[in-house]
Structure 1
Amino acid sequence: MSEIVSLCKRRGFLFQSSEIYGGLNGFWDYGPLGVDLKKNVKETWWQDMVSSHNELKTPQGAPTSYAMTGLDCTIIMHPQVWKCSGHYDLFHDHMVDCRESKRRYRFDQVRGRWAEYRDEKIFVTTVAEVEVEEEATLQRAMKYFKVRAKNSDQIDWKSDFTSLPNIDDLSQALGPDAKSLGTLTEPREFNLMFKTFVGALSGEEGAAYLRPETAQGIFVNFKNVVDSTRVRIPFGIA
């Protein structure tokens, strides 16, 4: 990934946002070529989905013909939208932090198994794919116990793989990227919506959220689209 990012920067496609001040993780600026690429992709998509759509012709695989229209909604919507859709109450995950590696993991996606070596028993965790998690935990256990590959069979695996929520004592867990035991915090609930405030004051009465679901603007504007365009069901909104 670092090589791709480096190439995009050299060619002028993407720059890390605020890079001269250390950058901001997850935020990127489009460079000179990136702006053109984004514009071309957007125009090609719009041409294919809306402008050139023939509402009298039934596309292959579709049950009937349909009309297409466009819609561009704000990225911040009324908080009541997210309460009614269930996002406000349900769009969250339990996360654990590693005090050593400073990394954060989704609680239910950390898996592992119990291992014992010379009377010491630990829960070895990993976030690797299921296909390679056995090898990943073996390598981590060997490194922790300081066991050479030729003696790896001396590690006694006491359980099958299970997820972290099934473990009562996190002090015996070896974090996915940690070298010591007990570095994982207790799980905490994280709301996955990006919270901001509308207006001059930052109180809860002005709280709002960036749109976590693109299609939500289509849902809340459905009647407006029908009334203003007079399209009939079935129809599509791009």
Structure 2
Amino acid sequence: MPEPDTLDAVVSLTKRRGFIFPSAELYGGFRSAYDFGPLGVLLLRKIREAWWSYMVRERREVVGLEASILTPPAIWRASGHLEHFTDPLVDCRSCHERWRADQIDGVCPKCGSRDLTPARAFNLMFRTFVGPVEGEGAEAYLRPETAQGMFVDAQSVARAMRLRPPFGIAQIGKSFRNEITPGNFVFRTREFEQMEMEYFVHPSVAAEAHDFWIAERLRWYQELGLEGDWLRLREHDADELSHYSSRTVDIEFRFPWGYGELEGIANRTDFDLRAHAAASGEDLSVLDPVTEERYYPSTIEPAGGVTRAAMAFLLAAYHVDEVNGESRTVLRLSPHLAPYTVAVLPLSRKPALVELAHEIFADLATIVDVDYDETQSIGRRYRRQDEIGTPWCVTVDFDSLEDRAVTVRDRDTLEQVRIPVADLVAHVRERLAATPRPRARTLTFHQR
């Protein structure tokens, strides 16, 4: 388990090396908002790509969607969010800070006072107005989850793509929740990105499908590096289930402050489709062409956070070891997630070396993300690449001008091998192919 000071070290590294910056820092910052820098953008993109490949590209029955972020109140009234999407809010009468009542032990964390107001429901959705006039008829909401777009469009998607249950609709996108007490770096923020899928099945196989997706989603994290006791499964108690869920299981990560949710896998039953059918007047049931049964599908929902996943991968990858008597900070990220897969390092700025290094960079950049660094000593450059998680460094030295070969250094083993320039692209492909990555498995149940 990472120690509390590991969080400080990782936060410092992410800012220093261009992963994550506090938003609006030039103007004193903006609470609970962060900007992802050049390396953070690459890390997030690779997490999304790993999820999309596993959840959509490798599955015949799953398709994608990008629904609107701005949504009318009718959707959230039907889904129950206007009524139920709340947290208990209390005020400290001494220092006037506000807190989630279920996250404090009857005492204000800021001043220690027990003089707190009674808890009241606080709706977490961001409300805005569409058009030039602010009024009830112009109300809209920033979506607090991506799921409802998939429910509202489910029938249109099924018709367009000729799908019948079991099938899934997947989406990656921004959501917004007006959290009372955000914190712990990017773990809890008011603007965040979700990776969600709604998997529609006959109600008779919903429990089986739920178990399948719990196992699949756990395996995805494990095979990308979160092995051993980094993760656990936690079943929701009956009194904490969402209003739409008959059962929810969280995949939790051991953060420095304890276990916290990475992803929830919920059995949403047929609640959402029935709710939208009732509110809209449209029939959202499906017809089984064999049995001629008409029914509302149950929905299994794996829902995870892109930024929470990034934070977990960074914390698990962070290591400090010793090489040749010197301390080395290294991010042992999976090569499938590391911002740069390869770094090209000419030994000096001699024009002939730089020219060859540029040639190698151009070839490798056709298949992977590549960094290029020609400043400071080669040792310092190795340390820089270790600290940002680059799996392989390619050193172009003076012998390269004669034998057209380069030295490839491994981040984790520190092994160095000599590879002909002509074979370098194939070598990197082989190394990536040999690195474990999650592969989709097919559901084994047969719909009844």
Q: Could you state the TM-score of these two structures normalised by the residue count of structure 1?
A: 0.62
Provide the residue aligned with 1:178 in structure 2: 111
Matched position secondary structure for 1:96? strand
Cα distance in structure 2, aligned partners of 1:202 and 1:3: 46
Alignment of 1:125-136 (within 5 A): 125=106
User: Alpha carbons of 1:199 and 1:2: their partners in 2 closer, same or farther (altered >3 Å)?
Assistant: farther
Output one character per residue of 1:137-172: Cα deviation in whole Å (capped at 9) or x when no partner. xxxxxxxxxxxxxxxxxxxxxxxxxxxxxxxxxxxx
Provide the residue aligned with 1:207 in structure 2: 139
Cα distance in structure 1, aligned partners of 2:41 and 2:113: 46
User: Alpha carbons of 1:94 and 1:84: their partners in 2 closer, same or farther (altered >3 Å)?
Assistant: same
Amino acid at match of 1:48: Y
Of the candidates 16, 28, 40, which is equivalent to residue 34 of structure 2?
28
Amino acid at match of 1:215: A
* CA apart distance, 1:175: 3.4
The percentage of counterpart residues that share the same residue type is: 49
Please say if 1:84 is aligned against 2:16.
no
* CA apart distance, 1:41: 1.4
Cα distance in structure 1, aligned partners of 2:113 and 2:45: 49
User: Alpha carbons of 1:40 and 1:181: their partners in 2 closer, same or farther (altered >3 Å)?
Assistant: closer
Count matched residues.
164
Output one character per residue of 1:183-221: Cα deviation in whole Å (capped at 9) or x when no partner. x23434311111122112222221111112221111000
Cα distance in structure 1, aligned partners of 2:160 and 2:113: 63
* CA apart distance, 1:110: 4.0
User: Alpha carbons of 1:179 and 1:89: their partners in 2 closer, same or farther (altered >3 Å)?
Assistant: closer
Cα distance in structure 1, aligned partners of 2:24 and 2:122: 26
Alignment of 1:45-64 (within 5 A): 45-53=51-59, 55=60
Provide the residue aligned with 1:122 in structure 2: none
Provide the residue aligned with 2:88 in structure 1: 94
Cα distance in structure 2, aligned partners of 1:197 and 1:187: 28
User: Alpha carbons of 1:221 and 1:42: their partners in 2 closer, same or farther (altered >3 Å)?
Assistant: same
Q: Is the 8 A contact 2:21 2:35 kept in 1?
A: yes
Provide the residue aligned with 1:68 in structure 2: 62
Provide the residue aligned with 1:163 in structure 2: none
Amino acid at match of 2:111: A
User: Alpha carbons of 1:22 and 1:232: their partners in 2 closer, same or farther (altered >3 Å)?
Assistant: same
Please say if 1:233 is aligned against 2:165.
yes
Cα distance in structure 1, aligned partners of 2:157 and 2:47: 25
Amino acid at match of 1:16: P
- Higher normalized strand content (fraction of residues): 2
* CA apart distance, 1:52: 2.2
Q: Is the 8 A contact 2:90 2:118 kept in 1?
A: yes
Q: Is the 8 A contact 2:92 2:113 kept in 1?
A: no
Cα distance in structure 1, aligned partners of 2:96 and 2:137: 33
Provide the residue aligned with 1:16 in structure 2: 22
User: Alpha carbons of 1:106 and 1:224: their partners in 2 closer, same or farther (altered >3 Å)?
Assistant: same
Matched position secondary structure for 1:232? coil
* CA apart distance, 1:100: 4.0
5+ long unaligned stretches in structure 2: 1-6, 171-448
User: Alpha carbons of 1:32 and 1:227: their partners in 2 closer, same or farther (altered >3 Å)?
Assistant: same
User: Alpha carbons of 1:231 and 1:13: their partners in 2 closer, same or farther (altered >3 Å)?
Assistant: same
Cα distance in structure 1, aligned partners of 2:47 and 2:152: 27
Q: Point out which structure has higher relative CO (alpha carbons under 8 A, 6+ apart).
A: 1
